[in-house]
Amino acid sequence: HAGGDATGAEISRALVEAVRARGIPTIENALVLDLLTDADGHTAGVSLHVMGEGQHDGVGAVHAPAVVLATGGMGQVFSATTNPSVSTGDGVALALRAGAEVSDLEFVQFHPTVLFLGTDAEGQQPLVSEAVRGEGAHLVDADGVRFMVGQHELAELAPRDIVAKGIMRRMQEKGADHMFLDARHFGAEMWENRFPTILAACRAHGIDPVTEPIPIAPAAHYASGGVRTDRHGRTTVPGLYACGEVACTGVHGANRLASNSLLEGLVYAERIADDIVAQHAENTLHARVPAPVTPSGPPTHPLLPAEARFAIQRVMTEGAGVLRSASSLSEAAAQLARIHAEAAGALAEHGKTAEPGVDTWETTNLLCVARVLVAAAQRREETRGCHWREDHADRDDAAWRRHIVVRLNPDRTLAAHTTETHDFPPTRPSPQEQ
C-alpha cells in the first residue's frame, strides 16, 4: 500500500508525472470507438469521439501501425461495482468488432465488502478493503452473528469468492439486501491513521465506522477474462495488443489474487513496448489505409439509448452475479436479446438509431460484453474460481480444465468454442519463439 489506503491515487500520480516529464502527446476527454484495419486485416489505428469543451463533439481518427488496449475493466455491466463509470468494457467490445478473440469472460471477481448505499444505488460504490478484515474486522448479520465462522477455516479472511458467496447466501437466508462489517473495536485513532480514505468515504455517506457497523454487500470488482493475448500481449489481430484488465493473459486463472493485476500490468506493458519496438520500429502503416466510406444508407447495427444501461445492469446483477444457475443465465440471455431486439426494431422501423454520443456508445458496448459473459457462463457447467454455478457446484477438471473462447461473427452473432488444452498462450507463437 502507498499513501495510507490510497494506492491507486499514488500510482496515477506517478504515471502522470512520467508522461509529462517525457513530453508524451496525449488526447484527453476522448472515447475510442473502433479499431481501424487495413485491407489485409492489420491494425491501422483507431476512431475517436472527442468530447469538445464549448464545441460540438466530433469524431476523428488516429492512424498507427500498432494499438495497445489498456482500457480497464467492465464492472459497469453490473448494478454495483467498485469500478468507475467509464469501465464499460469498451476495449473488449471494440476488439470483438475488429475480429479479435476474447476468453474467460465468465470469471468476474466480486469484492465481498463494498459499501452498501441502498437498493437503488447504481454504478461505482466505495470499496472497503480486505485489509480492514485483515486487521480484525468481523462480518456479521443484523443480529450480530459472525456467519463466516464455520463456513471456512479462515472465516472472514477466506478467499474473496468464498466470502462473497457466504455473504450472498446469508442475505438470502435472512431476506436481507446487505450484511455488516463490524470494526468498532478498532477505535478512532486506528481508523484515522490506518484507513483514512475508507473512513472519509463512510462518513460522507452518513456512516461512522468508529461507532457503528458498516453496511456492505458484494459488488463486481475485476474481470479475469478479456481479449486473448500471448506472452507478449499480442492479440489475434495483427498489430493489436492488450494489457491490464482488458486482457486475458492467463496469469490470473479463474480467480485473481489481490494485487497481482498491478504486477501483470507492469510485466506485460514492458513486453508489449519491447515487441512494438522490434516489430514496428519504422512507425509506418502496414499498408495504405482505405479512405473512409461515406454511408450510403441507414446504419445496420443499432446504438442503444443511454437509459438501456440500467436495464442491462439489473439483468446482469440478477442473472449473472455472484450466484448463477442455468435458469438465471437463460433468463439473462433472453432479457439481453430483448433489449437488443427493441433497438434493432426501432432501427428497422424508423431507419435510425439512438443519437451517437458517449452514453449511447458505452451502453452499446455494455450490451456486447454482457452477451459474451452470459454465453460463456452458460457454457461452463461447473464451479471454478469466481464462477459459481448453483446447479453445478463442483469443479470438473476432466471436462472443464480449459478455456472458453468467443468471437463476434460479421452479423454480430456469437461464435464460441472450448480449447482442447488449458495451456497459454492461446495465440500462435512468433518464429523467434519456436
Active-site positions read: 160
Distances (CA, A) of 63 to 33, 175, 300, 321, 374: 13, 54, 25, 39, 34
Amino acid at the residue 359: D
Q: What is the 3-state secondary structure (H, E, C) of 190-245?
A: HHHHHCHHHHHHHHHCCCCCCCCCEEEEEEEEEECCEEECCCCCECCCCCEEECHH
Closest to 69 measured CA to CA, from 276, 309, 288, 219: 276
- Give the position of cell 475517436: 48
Do the bridges between strand 67-69 and strand 240-242 make them parallel or antiparallel, or are there none, so unpaired?
Answer: parallel
Strand partners, 31: 49
- Widest distance between CA atoms in the chain: 68
CB neighbours (10 Å) of residue 71?
27
**Enclosing H/E stretch for 407:** strand 404-408
Task: Check if the beta carbon of residue 66 is closer than 8 Å to that of residue 241.
Answer: yes
Q: Where are the beta strands (DSSP E) in 6-153?
A: 30-37, 43-50, 58-63, 67-69, 80-81, 102-103, 108-115, 123-124, 138-140
C-alpha cell of residue 107: 470469471
The rounded distance, in Å, linking the Cα atoms of 360 and 354 is 7
Amino acid at the residue 133: R
- 251-287 in b/e form (b: 16+ CB < 10 A) is bbbbbbeeeebeebbeebbebbeebbeeebeeeebbe
